[in-house]
């Protein structure tokens, strides 16, 4: 009979000007880092709502008061945690090859693998995004950036006559990007076991992607199944 806690006070828009310790001292830096690490661990373990500032401090081995030397609020530290994560979800470092198929495949795989590696915090980000507009925006902008990079690629493909020219790049990019994002959640943030395999998911997502864009390569070998 789960019931749900209130975290409270101060959210979007702390206009307090208090200078917080930035960790200029090496000791300060260390404390701050410990708090960040602890926060991530606690958030992953308990979710944002149930995470208590006190728990974070305990986990970090600092006193409760110290927390506010470095962070304005629970929300703020959460954003800091978020900013330190997920940075590379879209790191389309697929630059290893020129083969379009391989690049798509690599991007998909990268997304899923990175998501898997960060599933714990991703789940919490997902949660807070439904609560806090700032975090929502972070998430949104990342997904949007992902979509934009896809969009550029689609245009390139169309320009190269590799992709169906009827496809609207902007819509398709969002749709396909969302599809991958959705699948990642399905695979790695389900409360119930799912019958999907990550490797196969990469293959299938890539196939759909190629089909969807109408990419017909000269020698497009079906992805290894």
Q: Binding segment for DNA among 26-34, 85-93, 101-109, 181-189 (CB under 7 A)?
A: 26-34
Contact between 170 and 185 under an 8 Å Cβ cutoff? The reply is no
Nearer to DNA, 63 or 156 (CB): 63
The DSSP code for 191 is S
Taking a C-beta distance cutoff of 8 angstroms, is the pair 180, 112 a contact?
A: yes
Residues 50-69 contacting DNA, CB under 7 A = 50-54, 62-69
Q: Which residue is it, tokens 């507009």? A: 133
Measuring CA to CA, which residue among 119, 121, 117, 179 is closest to residue 146? 179
Show the binding pattern over residues 70-109: x = contacts DNA (CB under 7 A), - = does not. x-xxxx----------------------------------
Q: Please check whether residue 48 is in contact with residue 7, taking contact to mean a CB–CB distance below 8 angstroms.
A: yes
The nearer residue to DNA, 30 or 141, going by C-beta atoms, is 30
User: What count of other Cβ atoms lies within 10 Å of the Cβ of residue 190?
Assistant: 11
- In which element (H, E) is residue 192 found? none
Stretch that binds DNA, among 21-29, 161-169, 173-181, 191-199 (CB under 7 A): 21-29
Q: Name the binder of 62 from a second copy, DNA, none, CB < 5-8 A by kind.
A: DNA
CB of 8 to DNA, least distance (A): 5
178 binds DNA (CB under 7 A): no
Contacting residues for 134 by C-beta, under 8 A, at least 6 apart: 12, 75, 79
Rounded to a whole number of angstroms, the minimum distance from the CB of residue 138 to a second copy is: 12
Residue keyed to tokens 């079906």: 222
Q: Which residues bind DNA (CB under 7 A)?
A: 3, 5-10, 16, 18, 21-25, 27-28, 30-31, 50-54, 62-70, 72-75
């Amino acid at each position: 009979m789960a019931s749900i806690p209130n975290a409270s006070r101060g959210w979007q828009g702390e206009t307090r000007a208090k200078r917080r310790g930035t960790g200029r001292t090496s000791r300060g830096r260390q404390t701050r880092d410990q708090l960040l690490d602890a926060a991530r661990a606690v958030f992953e373990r308990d979710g944002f709502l149930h995470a208590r500032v006190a728990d974070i401090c305990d986990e970090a081995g600092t006193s409760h008061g110290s927390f506010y030397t470095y962070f304005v609020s629970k929300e703020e530290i959460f954003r800091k945690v978020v900013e330190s994560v997920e940075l590379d979800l879209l790191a389309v470092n697929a630059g290893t090859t020129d083969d379009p198929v391989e690049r798509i495949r690599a991007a998909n795989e990268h997304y899923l693998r990175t998501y898997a590696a960060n599933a714990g915090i991703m789940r919490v980000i997902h949660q807070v995004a439904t609560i806090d507009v700032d975090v929502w925006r972070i998430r949104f902008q990342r997904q949007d950036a992902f979509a934009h990079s896809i969009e550029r690629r689609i245009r390139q493909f169309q320009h190269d006559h590799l992709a169906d020219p009827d496809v609207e790049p902007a819509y398709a990019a969002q749709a396909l990007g969302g599809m991958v994002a959705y699948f990642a959640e399905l695979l790695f943030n389900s409360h119930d076991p799912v019958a999907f395999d990550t490797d196969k998911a990469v293959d299938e997502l890539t196939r759909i992607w190629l089909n969807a864009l109408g990419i017909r390569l000269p020698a497009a070998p079906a992805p290894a199944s």
